[in-house]
């Protein structure tokens, strides 16, 4: 069985990380997996390429379609003609359409379109344009996939049947540990009595880091001196955010760790996890934080499906009083913090269907069945 996974950029996060998590648990000896990725020369791409190659995957790079649509799809067609895949699994949602049109023309029998986004991620104008693509996509797709109910219904409709490939994780890796918590706090020079509010995500407009900075300033100005923010990630806005932190004299309150490959350890040092994004598909990091037993605050623009525990709440980020609302909720959570509440939350997340070992076995069997 030979499968092509079309994932976009392999930069350490997003769709590529979900695919990587699954492949780590699937018996890759039974299948040959190729990863089609958009070309982007940077360290994060090199690191993730190594992760895929260690599993036996072949990486094929292709120029971004924005650099020339005709050239891009000609190159894609040549790849399909040369490699002879049994399954093409495209993770571009509605934009899977042209890839699967070509796959159908070349006689590839199993063509999967996978939705990772919800309505909130697109403007009304773009949604109208995309509506014209949907009938074509449905015609060339043999198997419908989605990361969750909302993403599936957005692309396929409320009455359609689709396979939910959950953004599952290795729940054991994120199990709460007091020992690791103390170790990582010592490494980061975080005092035992300090409250750590954590965020993990790419430094981009989507993740709304300016909101986090304003929140940190507000909490400091209100007298909450024992609160520290720890932000993990890299991206095009990293230097800008770093400059803002200095200009607002928040150096002692906001710790920028950059890109890390040990987020499961870093997360142990947190007391609260926040994700005030303007949009998300189905954030894996939200599942990880809940598996670690952290109280989580999500932007109300994120799908409600990712709420797995009662300790997870949604708050607005588009209101004039948003900073005040988030500040009050954080103070409320702090007043009730108890490390014992974080115990065994990984077991709950596992039972809810987000354990990668179980979900990967299901996916492996699904692939086997559709090519019979």
| Ordered per-residue pLDDT tens for the chain, 372 residues | 999 999 988 877 789 999 999 999 988 778 999 999 998 777 678 888 999 999 999 999 999 888 889 999 999 999 999 999 999 999 999 999 999 999 999 999 999 999 998 765 556 666 777 788 899 999 999 999 999 999 999 899 999 999 999 999 999 999 999 999 999 999 999 999 999 999 999 999 999 999 999 999 999 999 988 999 999 999 899 999 999 999 999 999 999 999 898 999 999 999 999 999 998 889 999 999 999 999 999 999 999 999 999 999 999 999 889 999 999 999 999 999 999 999 999 999 999 999 999 999 999 999 999 988
| Residue 126: predicted pLDDT | 67
> What whole-number distance in Å separates Cα of residue 106 and Cα of residue 342?
52
Query: Does one domain contain both 160 and 206?
Result: no
| Strand blocks (E) in 194-311 | 195-200, 227-232, 254-258, 272-275, 296-299
Does residue 348 share a domain with residue 285?
Answer: yes
Domain range for 138: 2-168+356-370
Residues 81, 198, single domain; the answer is: no
Q: Give pLDDT, residue 283.
A: 93
Q: In this structure, are 144 and 50 located in the same domain?
A: yes
Which residue, chain included where needed, has tokens 């043999």? 142
Q: Domain with 348 in it: what CATH number?
A: 3.40.50.2000
Q: Are residues 8 and 144 in the same domain?
A: yes
330 three-state secondary structure: helix
Beta strand residue intervals within the chain, DSSP E? 2-8, 32-38, 58-62, 87-90, 110-115, 143-146, 163-164, 195-200, 227-232, 254-258, 272-275, 296-299, 312-315
* 94 plus 230 within the same structural domain: no
Same domain, 33 and 162: yes
Residues 6+ apart with CB under 8 A from 139: none
**Which of left, alpha, beta for 211 (phi over 0: left; psi -120 to 50: alpha)?**
alpha
HSE toward the beta carbon, residue 108, CA cutoff 13 A: 31
Quick one: 24 and 105 in the same domain? yes
- Six-digit token pair at 329? 């909720």
HEC sequence for 263-292: HHHHHHHCCEEEECCCCCCCCHHHHHHHHC
In a shared domain, residues 8 and 140: yes
**pLDDT score for 125:** 66
* pLDDT at position 288: 97
316 and 366 co-located in one domain? no
Q: Choose among 77, 68, 83, 155: nearest CA to 114.
A: 155
207 shares a domain with 158? no
Q: φ and ψ at 314, to 5 degrees?
A: -120, 135
Same domain, 329 and 200: yes
- Return all residues near 369 (Cβ < 8 A) that are at least 6 apart: none
State residue 121's pLDDT score.
Answer: 57
Q: Quick one: 252 exposed, middle or buried, by C-beta within 10 A (0-12, 13-18, 19+)?
A: exposed
How do beta strands 296-299 and 312-315 pair?
parallel
Sequence-separated contacts (24+) of 237-240 with Cβ below 8 Å: 237/203, 237/204, 237/205, 237/209, 238/203
Number of domains in the chain: 2
Q: What DSSP character marks residue 70?
A: H
């Amino acid at each position: 069985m030979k499968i092509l996974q079309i994932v976009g950029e392999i930069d350490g996060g997003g769709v590529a990380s979900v695919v990587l998590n699954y492949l780590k648990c699937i018996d890759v000896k039974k299948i040959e997996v190729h990863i089609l990725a958009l070309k982007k020369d940077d360290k994060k791409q090199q690191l993730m390429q190594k992760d895929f190659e260690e599993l036996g995957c072949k990486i094929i790079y292709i120029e971004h379609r924005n650099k020339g649509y005709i050239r891009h799809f000609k190159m894609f067609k040549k790849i399909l003609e040369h490699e002879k895949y049994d399954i093409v699994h495209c993770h571009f949602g509605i934009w899977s359409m042209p890839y699967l049109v070509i796959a159908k023309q070349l006689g590839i029998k199993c063509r999967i379109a996978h939705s990772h986004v919800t309505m909130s991620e697109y403007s009304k104008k773009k949604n109208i344009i995309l509506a014209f693509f949907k009938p074509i996509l449905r015609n060339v797709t043999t198997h419908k996939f989605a990361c969750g109910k909302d993403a599936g219904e957005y692309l396929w409709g409320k009455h359609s049947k689709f396979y939910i490939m959950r953004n599952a994780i290795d729940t054991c890796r994120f199990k709460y540990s007091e020992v690791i918590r103390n170790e990582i706090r010592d490494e980061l020079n975080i005092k035992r009595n300090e409250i750590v509010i954590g965020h993990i995500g790419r430094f981009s407009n989507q993740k709304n880091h300016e909101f986090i900075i304003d929140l940190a300033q507000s909490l400091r100005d209100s007298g909450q001196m024992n609160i520290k923010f720890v932000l993990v990630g890299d991206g095009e806005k990293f230097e800008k955010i770093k400059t803002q932190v200095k200009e607002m004299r928040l150096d002692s309150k906001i710790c920028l760790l950059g890109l890390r490959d040990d987020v499961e350890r870093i997360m142990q040092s947190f007391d609260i996890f926040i994700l005030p994004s303007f949009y998300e598909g189905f954030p894996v990091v939200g599942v990880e934080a809940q598996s670690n037993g952290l109280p989580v605050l999500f932007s109300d623009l994120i799908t409600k499906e990712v709420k797995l525990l009662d300790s997870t709440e949604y708050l607005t980020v588009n209101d004039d009083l948003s900073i005040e609302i988030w500040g009050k909720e954080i103070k409320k959570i702090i007043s009730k913090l108890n490390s014992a509440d974080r115990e065994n939350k990984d077991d709950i997340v596992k039972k809810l269907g987000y354990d990668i070992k179980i979900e990967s076995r299901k996916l492996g069997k699904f692939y086997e069945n559709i090519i019979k």
